[in-house]
Amino acid sequence: MKNITKWIVPGFVVSILVIAAVLTKGIDVYATWWALVPPVLAIILALITKEVYSSLFIGIVSGALLFADFGFEGAVNHIFVDGIISVLSDSWNVGIIIFLVFLGAMVVLMNAAGGSAAFGEWAGKHIKTRAGAMLCTVFLGMLIFIDDYFNCLTVGSVMRPVTDKHQVSRAKLAYLIDSTAAPICIIAPISSWAAAVSGFVEGENGLALFIKSIPYNYYALFSILMMFLLIALRVDFGSMRYHEVNAVKGDIFSDGREHTEDNEAIANTHGKVIDLILPIASLIVCCVIGMIYTGDFFEGVDFVTAFAKSDASVGLVFGSFFAFVITIAFYVIRGTLSFKKCMESLSEGFNAMVPAILILTLAWGLKAMTDSLGAAPYVEALIKEYAEGFAVFLPAVIFLVAAGLAFSTGTSWGTFGILIPIVVAVFQHSNYEMMIISISACMAGAVCGDHCSPISDTTIMASAGAQCDHVTHVSTQIPYAMLVAAVSCVTYVVAGFVQGIVIPLIAGAGLLVLSLYVLSLKGKTRKVK
């Protein structure tokens, strides 16, 4: 395998670039299928090499070369000036990075204060089984529906000690976190995702349309159902089975090495559960207040409207900052930690988040490359060309296109922005019910692609929250996500014909249960006690 990585992979990359240089010479590649080559190349390399940093950077380089017609100076300028420097200058991205640093610092504080250890001890008395630990993770993830970034890192920091104690693999924890991040946010009317979707709908009440689309958001609904079925039936398949079997034997990372970083971080053994509960509660409350503040709630705008027009990035920065201040004050007043130790948590928290920030930066840079190559107008033209010919099959087609676009670009919100206006324009004055179903298909497909993509920020956050190797998380999650995606696609075909709520939901849920049952009969799953 090392020889393959050493010789075949570089040869493959060079061959692809040489072929691309020959085929695109003198051709305008803007808004053509070439726009999707850089992210697809990065994803393939990440899955083959198990190394995400270089894979993402090679994707960025290939995009810059295509943009600059393989000119050296133009490509270098595009990589750094229009790519990495540009995305790190974007106020939204900077806000997310600051939020990550504060959140990382709070995790360090909670560990140092002994809050995580105390919660783990409390949970050990009340959560007796592996299934209970996984169910607790799912329920906590469903409760934190405000924002997917917030969800991933909060659930991970709280539940890691519990799932580790009950020998749940980090790969399975990352899957549970990821499956209750975007999927729960996309069906929660009060969330940053609802605000984003509402903003892409013109000529309609965006929030009302979002609420009506919830019963048709099959990928999100079935992803949540899938977790409960896996836990209840105690079955796993694909590479996840390998990780879960190893976890039961004591190796939660499946790498054969002993990991002690979490135990070293929890130095204070005199902490109490309140040392974890209060920081988390303050984080939730402050982030909600921060988001509605950016939506002008305190200027007289009602709560729902304030959420719909909020700036999630800025709101999360405000919320995490004030929660950080409250946490420090709480620990210092109680004498749990010294002020000096609290200040040291900032640098320690930043260090803990460096891998996630680096991957995010490269993923944002790759998205900048696809934007400059015209991925959005290419997909838009494709949908408009075939929209009229597929009629009842259009929801399923939109689902697949949205999934492919989100997988390739790593952004579900960008996919919303491209496809939702097209769907509204096609059905707004002809078939209102089909418009709702198709908007749901767009949202579901975007979440599906985002769920599977190695370059998705939510997927990266889930890996960081679980402290799981990123490529391991992606490779173990994809078989589960693909099963739900297949069931969802079939359900959208049914919904296109029936155009009702109940029958497609029953048909899709039944198909998911049947699929898991058939897989278990064929020996593709294995019960893990």
Residue by residue, DSSP assigns 401-458 as HHHHHHHHHS-HHHHHHHHHHHHHHHHTTT-HHHHHHHHHHHHHHHHHHHHH-TT-HH
Q: How far apart are CA 68 and CA 70, in angstroms?
A: 5
Would you tell me how many other CB atoms lie within 10 Å of the CB of residue 94?
Answer: 14
Query: Rounded to whole angstroms, how far apart are CA atoms 180 and 459?
Result: 11
Query: What is the predicted pLDDT for the residue at 153?
Result: 74
pLDDT at 140: 84
Q: What is the pLDDT of residue 415?
A: 76
Which residue in 233, 237, 264 sits closest to 171, CA to CA? 237
| 3-state per-residue secondary structure call for 197-242 | HHHCCCCCCHHHHHHHHHHHCHHHHHHHHHHHHHHHHCEEECHHHH
Three-state DSSP at 30 gives coil
Contacts of 307 (CB under 8 A, 6+ apart): 190, 191, 194, 195, 291, 292, 295
Strand partners, 526: 236
- Would you state the pLDDT for residue 49? 75
> What is the residue-wise DSSP string for 295-313?
TTGGGT--HHHHHHT--HH
Q: Of the candidates 36, 34, 20, which has an alpha carbon nearest to the alpha carbon of residue 404?
A: 36
DSSP element (H, E) containing 353:
helix 339-372
Q: How far is CA 218 from CA 76, 90, 151, 169, 516, in A?
A: 43, 33, 21, 27, 17
Please name which of 312, 277, 303, 366 lies closest in space to residue 148, comparing C-alpha atoms: 312
CA distances from 378 to 38, 205, 259, 359, 456 (A): 15, 28, 46, 26, 20
The torsion angles phi and psi of 254, rounded to 5 degrees, stand at: 60, 35
CB distance 188 to 141 below 8 Å: no
Start-end of H helices in 251-311 = 261-265, 274-294, 303-308
- Residue 387's SS3 state is helix
Question: What is the rounded distance in angstroms from the CA atom of residue 518 to the CA atom of residue 523?
Answer: 9
Distance, CA of 365 to CA of 88 (rounded, Å): 9
Residue type, 95: G
Please calculate the CA angle 326-329-333 and round it to the nearest 5 degrees.
145
130 in Cβ contact with 235 (< 8 Å): no
Letter string b/e over residues 242-272, b meaning 16 or more CB atoms within 10 A of that residue's CB: ebbebbeeebbbbeeeeeeeeeebbebeebb
Amino acid identity of 390? F
Residue count (the chain)? 529
Digitized pLDDT (tens) for each residue of the chain, 529 residues in all: 455 555 666 777 777 777 777 777 778 888 888 888 888 888 788 777 767 788 888 889 999 999 988 888 999 999 999 889 998 998 888 888 888 788 788 878 887 888 877 876 787 678 888 999 999 999 888 887 766 777 787 788 788 888 988 889 999 999 999 999 889 888 887 665 666 676 566 666 666 778 888 999 999 999 999 999 999 888 888 889 999 999 988 889 876 655 554 443 444 556 788 888 898 889 888 988 988 898 888 988 887 777 767 777 788 889 889 999 999 999 999 888 889 988 988 888 888 778 778 877 887 888 888 888 887 777 767 766 665 556 678 889 889 988 988 887 777 776 776 677 777 766 766 677 888 898 899 899 989 998 888 888 888 889 988 889 888 999 999 999 999 999 999 999 999 888 888 999 999 999 999 998 887 776 545 555 5
- Confidence (pLDDT) at 448: 93
390 token code pair: 């597929």
Query: Is residue 357 classed as helix, strand or coil in its secondary structure?
Result: helix
Q: Are strands 235-237 and 525-527 parallel, antiparallel or unpaired?
A: antiparallel
Structure tokens at 31: 């808004």
Number of H helices, E strands in the chain: 28, 2
Cα–Cα distance for residue pair 294/91, rounded to 1 Å: 14
CA distance 459 to 411: 10
